[in-house]
Amino acid sequence: MMIPASPPSAPGPARWLNNQPYLLLSLTALFWAGNIVLARYVAGHVPPMTLSCVRWIGAFLMLLPFAWRHLLRDWPALRARLPLLVLLSATGFAINNALSYWALQYTQALNALLIQSSGPLFVAVWSLLLFGVRLTWAQLAGITTSLAGVLTIILHGDLGALASIQFNKGDVMFAGALLAFGLYSALMPRRPKTHQLSLIAFTTGCGALLLLPFSIWEFSTGYTLKFDLLTAATLIYVVIFPSTLAYLFFNRGIALIGPNRAAPFFHLVPVFGSAMAILAARRTAAAVSPRRLSAGAGGRRDRVAAGIGRGIDLRLRRRIASASALGRLACPATADPETSMGETTQNDFAIDTTTARSRRIRTDLHRAGIRRRRADPVSEPDHHAGAAVRRGQRHRHDNAHHFSASWRGTRRRHRHRQQAGR
């Protein structure tokens, strides 16, 4: 009697995900978009070279427990193609990331996202120059259509807004980073046939070694890493998502569908990045809303007078929300294109106090403080809204004193008339 063979077990989630190139490339674009927005947010707080080096050291240490057996088995194949692997490590890990983080010290997130949209063109040019791989008409039409769609979404249908965007040396540096990554993408199909864990572990370790001298030089200049909650959260994100997972997904996607078909997924980076920027702007708008100002944000003592949040009119609420929501991402022309490293603000989506919009907000706060009947003192004398409230209190005090003096004079004249009548 023959025992029937057991049915094949269903593939697990990891094996299923490993064979979904379009989902893998979409997740890669999502992780890289978060990397751009976060890198711009911490510009001036986290050193760019140190961040790049720590990023790949952390990724290598995270992958090593899973990849060391594959590394030992695939070492002969890796050693045979060592020059190619060093070039992949330099272009896809060292040069690309160091230039990207360094460029975001000078340029805005919107500019970086727009330049990121041109990624497929760099891949196509390198593939044509190195290997004679030409784009088909369908691929060219797809790249052009997706690029136009991304520009339309980011610019809200107003292509004339491109003329108002100021490009600086940070944009040139970011384009150079994208040029290096285009070479990495074009060379990936020529990689040695090894396990993907051994390949990514070797390239991340080699990339970290290439960045180590630049990180030491940056440390010697006095630009050091600050150990706080923001730095820890930044390092955790960049090590796990845009480094370990994104490169695993990207390499697997290229292996399944090729570099030219994978390149259009670069266009998802600005789409995801714009959505993340809007969410970050809304969180900032909530942090400076009148209700938060009246109650005290995060339990801090520096709160505006309690009556501002309730007595302020709807127009002022909208101006505060719109100014914080736009910030420098939607209005990059308000930023100094030649801002030096370390002079950039930590929050790209905060209100720019030099703009006319902020001056109107301060004017409305001043008026709201004058009209307010009661107001509580604030603890920080340099707070704009608190200064407006104190000016309103001073004006109300003067008005009350004038009214009291007038009332006393009226009563005095009334008594004189009564005495004269008698």
For 74, other C-beta atoms within 10 Å of its C-beta total: 20
Place of tokens 């979404």: 153
Considering the domain architecture, whether residues 237 and 384 belong to the same structural domain is answered as no
Considering the domain architecture, whether residues 217 and 312 belong to the same structural domain is answered as no
Considering the domain architecture, whether residues 186 and 334 belong to the same structural domain is answered as no
The enclosing H or E element of 364 equals helix 356-371
Kindly state whether residue 273 falls inside one of the protein's structural domains.
no
Please give the pLDDT value at position 137: 81
Kindly state whether residue 279 falls inside one of the protein's structural domains.
no
Q: What single-letter DSSP state applies at residue 343? A: -
Rounded-to-integer distance, Cα 308 and Cα 311, Å: 5
For 25, other C-beta atoms within 10 Å of its C-beta total: 25
Q: In 168-189, which positions are buried (b, 16+ CB within 10 angstroms) versus exposed (e)?
A: bebbebbbbbbbbbbbbbbbbe
Q: What single-letter DSSP state applies at residue 133? A: P
Please give the pLDDT value at position 121: 83
Rounded-to-integer distance, Cα 272 and Cα 289, Å: 26
Rounded-to-integer distance, Cα 168 and Cα 106, Å: 8
Considering the domain architecture, whether residues 91 and 150 belong to the same structural domain is answered as yes
Rounded-to-integer distance, Cα 33 and Cα 109, Å: 10
Which is more confidently placed, 128 or 360? 128
- From 211, 236, 267, the end of a domain falls on 267
Please state which of the ranges 6-20, 163-177, 235-249, 335-349 shows the lowest mean pLDDT. Answer: 335-349
Considering the domain architecture, whether residues 166 and 255 belong to the same structural domain is answered as yes
CB 155 within 8 A of CB 271: no
Please give the pLDDT value at position 313: 41
Sign of CA dihedral 413, 417, 418, 422: positive
Please give the pLDDT value at position 359: 53
User: CA-CA distances (angstroms) from residue 172 to 37, 168, 180, 264, 405?
Assistant: 18, 7, 13, 21, 68
Considering the domain architecture, whether residues 176 and 83 belong to the same structural domain is answered as yes
Rank 105-114, 234-243, 266-275, 402-411 by mean pLDDT and report only the highest. 234-243
CB 59 within 8 A of CB 210: no
Rounded-to-integer distance, Cα 192 and Cα 190, Å: 7
Rank 50-64, 156-170, 256-270, 309-323 by mean pLDDT and report only the highest. 50-64
Q: What is the pLDDT of residues 130-179, one digit of tens each?
A: 988 887 787 778 777 767 766 675 666 676 766 666 668 888 899 899 99
- From 267, 301, 327, the end of a domain falls on 267
Q: Rg of the chain over CA atoms, in angstroms?
A: 30
Kindly state whether residue 243 falls inside one of the protein's structural domains.
yes
Residue 200: helix, strand or coil by DSSP? helix
Kindly state whether residue 7 falls inside one of the protein's structural domains.
no
- Could you tell me the residue range of the domain that residue 315 belongs to? 288-421
Considering the domain architecture, whether residues 319 and 239 belong to the same structural domain is answered as no
Considering the domain architecture, whether residues 183 and 246 belong to the same structural domain is answered as yes
Place of tokens 């063109």: 121
CB 264 within 8 A of CB 120: yes
Considering the domain architecture, whether residues 178 and 33 belong to the same structural domain is answered as yes
By CB neighbour count within 10 A (0-12 exposed, 13-18 middle, 19+ buried), where does 46 fall? buried
Considering the domain architecture, whether residues 97 and 127 belong to the same structural domain is answered as yes
Kindly state whether residue 9 falls inside one of the protein's structural domains.
no
- From 267, 302, 336, the end of a domain falls on 267
Kindly state whether residue 301 falls inside one of the protein's structural domains.
yes
Considering the domain architecture, whether residues 241 and 300 belong to the same structural domain is answered as no
CB 109 within 8 A of CB 329: yes
Which is more confidently placed, 402 or 200? 200
Considering the domain architecture, whether residues 334 and 407 belong to the same structural domain is answered as yes
pTM reported for the whole predicted model = 0.62
- Work out how many domains the chain is built from and give that number: 2
Kindly state whether residue 280 falls inside one of the protein's structural domains.
no
Which is more confidently placed, 351 or 156? 156
Kindly state whether residue 2 falls inside one of the protein's structural domains.
no
Which of the four pLDDT bands, split at 50, 70 and 90, describes residue 208? very high
